[in-house]
Structure 1
């Protein structure tokens, strides 16, 4: 049975990540490295990836713009691909699933790299850009799965990240 991959772009638009999901190398990596048969995409205010492109690679696409909670999707996923928002990263880490974080390089005064790099250095996730997503998916397959982040730690970690800045 194939795997389920969940992608979240957050509440706004992250067209670069959605477009990267239509890239041939990314789609091949999802199939080859992850045996993905279901790609679930929370696409925010932007469009969903092209269904035909995903299906051409033998995967089913499920997509939606928003949800009050991503917890169920994250729990059901074998791999989580997330934008680099702190809240999304922390929520994903609670599930002890392989996590690939994609930094939106088009943001002004982008501090996402700082958080993503710090957590990648601690082996909590694989950090990448839209252009390097295919390679990051291959790397994440070899990445050691972490223990779940206890929910109680989320508040502490959030305070440390945002109050010590």
Structure 2
């Protein structure tokens, strides 16, 4: 299985350290977007930022990402198998709510502790996520009329 790992614009060195150890003895392929992280994986290719990561997402069989809402919803809209990793490196814990949501709705597997990650990668092969359906927001015009009338 080919995995793409993305952490958006948030450093998550501990995730890449763990994945580097996993990749050393894995038959899976990994490619990582490490943001401004200081840890550079030795066992798989990585990059800091790209203007567009659509190609990496399309080429991947599955994605491992931080629990950032922007990353998660983009991936769910692309119907990717997904492991969402709660970023314990962050001081704030706003990612906990979104990680809990995707887990409770069966949209993705959720990793709460990095020691669980290898077993979740194995579990993902047999995981069938619930299909995500985006609800478009159609009240923009009404809000603009209300604000400027």
TM-score range with shorter-chain normalisation? 0.7 to 0.9
User: Aligned-pair distance for 1:97?
Assistant: 1.6
Equivalence map 1:146-157=2 (5 Å): 146-147=130-131, 149-150=133-134, 153=135, 156=137
Corresponding residue for 2:120?
136
Poorly superposed stretches of 4+, deviation over 3 Å: 145-150
Supply the distance in 2 between the matched residues of 1:88 and 1:41 (Cα, whole angstroms).
14
The alpha-carbon distance between structure 1 residues 146 and 76, as it changes in their structure 2 partners (threshold 3 A), is farther
Supply the distance in 1 between the matched residues of 2:46 and 2:21 (Cα, whole angstroms).
17
Q: Which runs of 5+ in 1 are unaligned?
A: 55-60, 157-165
Larger relative contact order, structure 1 or 2 (CA cutoff 8 Å, min sep 6)? 1
Give TM-score, length-normalised by structure 2: 0.79
Equivalence map 1:83-102=2 (5 Å): 83-102=66-85
User: Aligned-pair distance for 1:148?
Assistant: 5.5
User: Aligned-pair distance for 1:27?
Assistant: 5.1
User: Aligned-pair distance for 1:106?
Assistant: 2.6
Provide the aligned C-alpha RMSD in A: 2.0
Higher-helix-fraction structure: 1
Structure number with larger C-alpha Rg: 2
